Every structure is written in C-alpha cells, then in structure tokens.
Structure 1
Amino acid sequence: QHPVHAYLFLGPAGSGKRRAARAFAAALLCRNDQCGTCRDCVLTMSGEHPDVSEVERVGAAISAEQASEIVRSASFAPVESNKKVLILDEFHLLNASAAARLLKTIEEPPAGTVFCVLADQLVPDLITIASRCVRVPFHSVPDRLIADALIAAGIGEEVALEAARAAAGDLDRARLLATDSGLVARREAFASVTHRVNGSGTRVVEIIEELLALIESASEPLKARQANELAELEIRVAQTGERGAGRKALEERHKRELRRYRTDELRAGLSTVASTYRDRLVQGLEGRRGAEDAAAVDRIIEAIAHLERNPNETLLLQALLLSLPPI
C-alpha cells in the first residue's frame, strides 16, 4: 500500500524478475484488492497497461539517449491510475553516462511514480543507482522444481526433466522447451561440435549452418504463442474499442523475445560444447592437450559473454569454431 520510489530486482536471467515486476505493478494499480482478474491486472500482466512502461535496451547497452527517454517518460502523469510504474529491464547492461542521467530521477521521481530496476548482476555502473533502491534478491529456479511444475501442467516426466536441465533455471524457457521436439537433436548437435571441427573453414561453415537452422526451428513454439497473443489482442480491441500503440508495442516485444530466445539457445548450446572440453580436463589430461582444452573453455566463455551485445551470430561462431581443437 505504501511502496517506496524504487526497487532493484537482482538475480540471474530466468529467475522470474520480469514476471514478478509485472505482478508487483499489477498489485499497485489494481483497484480491487489485488484481484488478478480486473482490467488493470490483466493488462499489466500482459505488458499492455498504459501506466506501466517496460523499457528494454535498444542497442548493445542502455545508452544515455535511452536514459533521457526514460526520464521524459517518468515525467508524464498516469493515464488511468494514481500511480505509474516503470520496469527497467537488463540494467546490468547500463553504461556510465546513462546511469548518471538517470540517477536523480530514480532517486527523486515524480509523485506516484515507482521504478522497478531489473538486473542479472550488480555491475559497477549500477552501484550508485542500486544504493537508491530497495534490493529484492532472485535466484535460479532448481531443475527439480521446474520439472515438477511442468509435470503438474501435463508434461511427461522424461520430457520435463530434459527441458528443466536445458532451461538453466528459467521456468518460462522450460515451458517452451517442453513442447520442442527438436531439443534433444540440438543438444546432440552442439555436443558433436568438438568431434567435427578440424580447422577447416568449409567444415565450420557446414556446422554453423546446421546449428543455426536448428535454432531457427526451435523458435516455432514461441512464434505460435506470440501468434496467439496477437489474436487475443485483436479480440480485446474488438470488444473494448481500445486504440493506440498496443499492437505495435506487442510486435516490438515479440521481436525482443525472439532475439532473447535465440541468445538463450546459443548460450545453452555453447555451454554444451564447453562441457565436452571440461569433461576431458576432469580426466586429468596434462601438457599441451590439457592447455588447449582449458584455452578452448575460456574462449567459449568469452563468446557466451559477447552474446549479450547482440553480435552477428555467424561471425561469432566462425571465429570461435575455427579456434577450437578437435577431440
């Protein structure tokens, strides 16, 4: 009933920060004692409420220009409610100039404005903003809990366990993977990379084409869900006569979701590749081969980190795979 001006939801990707932020915003805006079913609750949980702004980075990082737009958005009065909520996503990718531009607004926002800052980790450029927020910690969801949730939703136990392991603590991702018939094939394809690379550019091109085709196919369940969301939006528009940028905003969110899904797939796949080298290191190999395997793991970890910057996938994979030693 008496929220503070700013919260920092801090925890790994897939730990439920975005869903929790929407639920918190819905509770603030609901006029029926947090009912979960009224118009305010439904629109907030679907990301379409006019008094809830969800901000995601446009480029490789949250820029000063984007920060200025956030400040401007915060200055507007609520449209339908007595409060306004700004959900700022991926703020572990905030640059220093953007942080400086946002600090005063987050520290002293307009009356009725509440910030929910979401970040995977507390990076140096976020520390000062974090000191002005109430920190709410989030943690990865254990595989067993994810599997149990999938089983309760009617997914077979074997499929649920496989999806949970591949989801890296992300329940939403696990729900998609549980309906993905190509999950096992993708995991096997990435696991085979270390046995197929041989320093040949032609071989690397073949491997990359195969991996990216599998990832493209993997996005079909997400695209089907997004098509349903668009259809539901059209029904609501027809029933309520709502106008505005609802469809455009939803389409933009869908693009971001697809990009994030591809990034998650590449991250999971490259982690599988790294595990094959780690397994051999565990066997106690020393000398040149052990050093090569350790260096390969370091290069894969570096490539995974670069995924946050939306690189050209083909070029990233080409540079990486050409550098990997065969097993």
Structure 2
Amino acid sequence: MASASGGDDQPGTTEPAALSLFDFDDPPAPPEPPPPLDEAAEQPDLQELATESARTPAESPSLAESPPPAPVAESRLDTPQADEPPVGNLLDGIVGQSAAVSRLRSALESPLPAYLFVGPAGAGLRSAACRFAGELLAARSATPERERRLALAEQHPDLLVFDRVGAAMTAEQVRDAVRAAAVAPAAGELKVIVLPEVDRAALIAPILLKSVEEPPPSCVFMLLADEINRPMETLASRCVRIDFEALGEADLRALLVAEGIDGSRADFAAVAAGGSIDRARLLASDADAASRIDTWRGMRRSLDGTASAAMAAVDTALEATEQAAAPLEARHQTERADADERAELYGTNFGRSSLDERHRRELRRVRIDELTMGFAVLSAQIRDEVRNATLAAETAAEQLAAVGDAAEALRFNANQRLTLSCLFIRLGRTSP
C-alpha cells in the first residue's frame, strides 16, 4: 500500500489516520511510531493492574481530570440572518379582512384547538391560516423571525398543510392528518395542521370530528372552506369560525398599488379579478389580459353552427388559457428558486413536495379562472344584446343556459376541451 507521501511502505512507519468529514480544523498530526519492542523489558505487575481497574471513577486520575465534552456548535436555524429585514407581525399582511384579523389577534395568547376559516375562493384563506400559524409558532419560540419566515413559505416542520390530491381530499389523507396530530411537534411546543377546501370532502367529516373535539394539547387544527354544507355542520360547530369576505375593488387596487403596480393596470385588474387576490395579481402582471378579453368578445361572432367553427373557437380559448398561465409559471419558477435558497439558508427543505403540488393545483385553477372569465364575457354580451333588442329573450335564455352548464362542468373538473366543444356547438346552433 502506498504511503501518504506516495512512496513504498517503510518498516517502522505508520500511515496517518484517514481524515473524517467532521474534522473541520487542521488535519491531525500522524501518531508517533511505537517504540521498538524490548524483549527484556519488565512485564507489568498483574496485581497492580487489578488494583487500578478496581478504582472508582473519582479515584481514577485519568477519568477525574478528563475535560467536559465540547459544546455543540450553534445551528444556523437558531441564528437570525443579518442581511434579512424582519418580516414583522404576519397578521398585518392580511388585506381587507379587519374583522377576521381582530379575532385572530385576540386568539394568539390562548389559542383554541380548532378554527374554521370560511370565505369565497380568492379571499386569502390559506395565506391567512399560514400567517396565523406563523404567529402562534413565533409566540412560543426563542427565534420568532425564523418561525415567521418558514411558516409564511409553508416550510415549517410544525406547519402541516394537507392539500387534496384529486377533486377532493380523500379519507386516507384525513387519517394521515389525524395520525400527524398525535405526534409531538418536531421543533417547538406547538403543531398546526391546515386542511384546505374541507367542504369539497364533507363526507370525511366524521373521521376528523373526534380529533377536533379532543385534540392533543400541542396541536391546533385550521380548516378552510368556501361554505358550510349540511354534512359539515357538526364538525363546524366544534370549531371557532372566522369569516372572510370577497375583497372589494378598492382593497384590491390599494394592494396592487402598494406592491408597485401601475395605477391604470391596477384599476383593470381589480375590476376583472372578481374579488380574488391571486387573480388580481396575475392580471396585473399580465400585459395581454385586456387583449384576451377582446378575443373572447369576438369569439361568439365566429360561431355559425358548424363543427369546424366550434373547434377553431376551442383552440383559441385554450390558447388564451395557456397565455394566462404564463405569468403564474414565471412566479412559480421564482418561488422554487426562493425555496431552494431558504433550504440552503435555514437548513431545511421541508414542504417542497407540498409546494410542487400547490403549483400544479394553482396552474389548473388559473386556467379555469381564465375560462370562467371568458364565460362571463360571453354572458355579458348576451345580456347586452337582449337589452339592445338585437337578440330574442328566448334565444338568450338558451345561450345563457349553455354557458351556465359549461361553468358547472368546469367546477367539477370536467375535460376542458370537451366542455368548450359542447358550449360552442350549442351557442352556434342558437346564434341569431
């Protein structure tokens, strides 16, 4: 075997010990070569060895004088980064929900086991839940800024968000949440479990009921729902209900302007967003949104009852949805880069799979929102033509019914191309 210097092994020399990955200082000096054996050396006294081994630790000089173990180096997780400005109280970032924020502030000191956030899609329920969770975790931590940042990014090990995989959350997902609630917090004194869109899976309410009624003392549940339906009533009665409202155009405009959006573009986005924060941000960052609305306005005039015209309109509509998704895909790329940076900075990549799943769901949502906006444009055209007496009321009713059926099909995750094909064929058959 070659020595450290690259020459042949020499008799009477010893290779230096291999350097460990955990040796961060200078490499240790090679050990001194053992003295040559002296056959005439005096053999150790066996009686003396027995006496030495019988000594207590306190009597043994080597043990009594041994130094204490070296302290463990402080983790970067516990050290605030000097180049990061403080995020401040996360509840201050909840826009246009003064009544909800007031109740959440009151709940920080002594939180109850379960909360139910109820409000329309786009009102910011998920963001509000993560912000509330961040403040709960920060209040019980020696590093509050760290807890806030990780919770805001949904990367905190004690903030578990269970997103639905398909059209609705499954019973097995809810059982996973129940099992997670029974496990002690990973990093602090409290664990927060967030279950979005529970109204889509109301039949699983009995599985969750007992855990919400008698949760572990270290766990807080946050359920999110657009509405309270009948199967959810018993579960809802066991939670503290926090109501959220659709944001008004003034709140959305003020939010966009505060984020640096030009006033005229903020006006357009606030009006076209339908009360949704996410939709308003996307429209404000999308220079082609106004032209796509004009495309939808001209689409109905091209329908003449033929299949070729209907298929051409389908292609145009789906192309518009891809254009609408482009700003979101750019934002997702930035979020993934930020998540990787936080993972390197804080030493944790917790929640990355959840981030990827959320991105897929948001892309589908923005495509549906784009189609829904197009349906709203078609409906407005039909009503305007009735008011202007250019379209018979009976024909208008048939066309509005076709648009309503298409919107309902999208709500239940129907195939988008097939849904649009049926709509445009029906509109072409009833065109004036």
TM-score by length of 2: 0.70
Partner residue, 1:18: 126
Secondary structure of the 2:156 match is coil
Which of 1 and 2 has higher RCO (CA within 8 Å, sep 6+)? Answer: 1
> C-alpha displacement at 1:300, in angstroms?
1.9
Which amino acid in the other structure matches residue 407 of structure 2? I
The 2-side partners of 1:78 and 1:95 are apart by: 27
- The answer to whether structure 1 residue 5 and structure 2 residue 113 are counterparts is yes
Query: Per the alignment, do residues 45 and 239 of structure 1 end up closer, same or farther by CA in structure 2, a change over 3 Å counting?
Result: closer
After superposition, the CA RMSD in angstroms is 2.2
The 1-side partners of 2:394 and 2:238 are apart by: 45
The 2-side partners of 1:298 and 1:154 are apart by: 40
Which amino acid in the other structure matches residue 279 of structure 1? D
Secondary structure of the 1:118 match is strand
Partner residue, 2:425: 322
Query: Per the alignment, do residues 81 and 282 of structure 1 end up closer, same or farther by CA in structure 2, a change over 3 Å counting?
Result: farther
The 1-side partners of 2:335 and 2:373 are apart by: 26
Question: Is the 1:198–1:326 contact (alpha carbons within 8 Å) kept by the matching residues of 2?
Answer: yes
Which amino acid in the other structure matches residue 138 of structure 2? C
- The answer to whether structure 1 residue 238 and structure 2 residue 344 are counterparts is yes
Which amino acid in the other structure matches residue 331 of structure 2? R
The 1-side partners of 2:263 and 2:188 are apart by: 44
Map 1:159-308 onto structure 2 (within 5 A): 159-243=265-349, 246-283=351-388, 289-308=392-411
1:91-129 CA deviation, whole Å, 9 max, x = no partner? 221142x12222222222222211111111122222221
The 2-side partners of 1:170 and 1:14 are apart by: 4
Query: Per the alignment, do residues 123 and 191 of structure 1 end up closer, same or farther by CA in structure 2, a change over 3 Å counting?
Result: farther
> C-alpha displacement at 1:280, in angstroms?
3.0
Structure 1 spans left out of the alignment, 5+ residues: none
Aligned residues: 322
> C-alpha displacement at 1:279, in angstroms?
2.4
Which has the larger helix fraction?
1
Runs of 4+ deviating beyond 6 Å: 32-35
Map 1:39-54 onto structure 2 (within 5 A): 39-54=146-161
Query: Per the alignment, do residues 285 and 69 of structure 1 end up closer, same or farther by CA in structure 2, a change over 3 Å counting?
Result: farther
The 2-side partners of 1:93 and 1:294 are apart by: 30
1:35-65 CA deviation, whole Å, 9 max, x = no partner? 9x71111111111111111122222222323
Partner residue, 1:81: 188
Query: Per the alignment, do residues 86 and 305 of structure 1 end up closer, same or farther by CA in structure 2, a change over 3 Å counting?
Result: farther
Which amino acid in the other structure matches residue 169 of structure 2? I
Secondary structure of the 2:165 match is coil
> C-alpha displacement at 1:283, in angstroms?
4.6
1:112-152 CA deviation, whole Å, 9 max, x = no partner? 21111111112222222111111111111111221222223
1:62-94 CA deviation, whole Å, 9 max, x = no partner? 232332222222222211121111111112211
Partner residue, 2:238: 132
> C-alpha displacement at 1:164, in angstroms?
0.9
> C-alpha displacement at 1:171, in angstroms?
2.0
Which amino acid in the other structure matches residue 65 of structure 1? E
Question: Is the 2:141–2:188 contact (alpha carbons within 8 Å) kept by the matching residues of 1?
Answer: no
Query: Per the alignment, do residues 196 and 124 of structure 1 end up closer, same or farther by CA in structure 2, a change over 3 Å counting?
Result: farther
Query: Per the alignment, do residues 155 and 305 of structure 1 end up closer, same or farther by CA in structure 2, a change over 3 Å counting?
Result: same
Partner residue, 1:158: 264
1:166-224 CA deviation, whole Å, 9 max, x = no partner? 11111232122111011012111222232222222111111111111121122121111
> C-alpha displacement at 1:34, in angstroms?
11
Deviates more, 1:173-182 or 1:298-307: 298-307
Query: Per the alignment, do residues 49 and 204 of structure 1 end up closer, same or farther by CA in structure 2, a change over 3 Å counting?
Result: same
Query: Per the alignment, do residues 296 and 80 of structure 1 end up closer, same or farther by CA in structure 2, a change over 3 Å counting?
Result: same
> C-alpha displacement at 1:3, in angstroms?
1.0
Of residues 60, 68, 83, the one that matches 2:167 is 60
Query: Per the alignment, do residues 79 and 34 of structure 1 end up closer, same or farther by CA in structure 2, a change over 3 Å counting?
Result: closer
Query: Per the alignment, do residues 239 and 158 of structure 1 end up closer, same or farther by CA in structure 2, a change over 3 Å counting?
Result: closer
The 1-side partners of 2:372 and 2:314 are apart by: 14
Which amino acid in the other structure matches residue 90 of structure 1? E
Question: Is the 1:278–1:294 contact (alpha carbons within 8 Å) kept by the matching residues of 2?
Answer: no
> C-alpha displacement at 1:282, in angstroms?
4.0
Larger Rg: 2
Secondary structure of the 2:185 match is coil
Partner residue, 1:72: 179
Identical amino acids, percent of aligned pairs: 37
The 2-side partners of 1:136 and 1:34 are apart by: 29
Deviates more, 1:58-67 or 1:206-215: 58-67
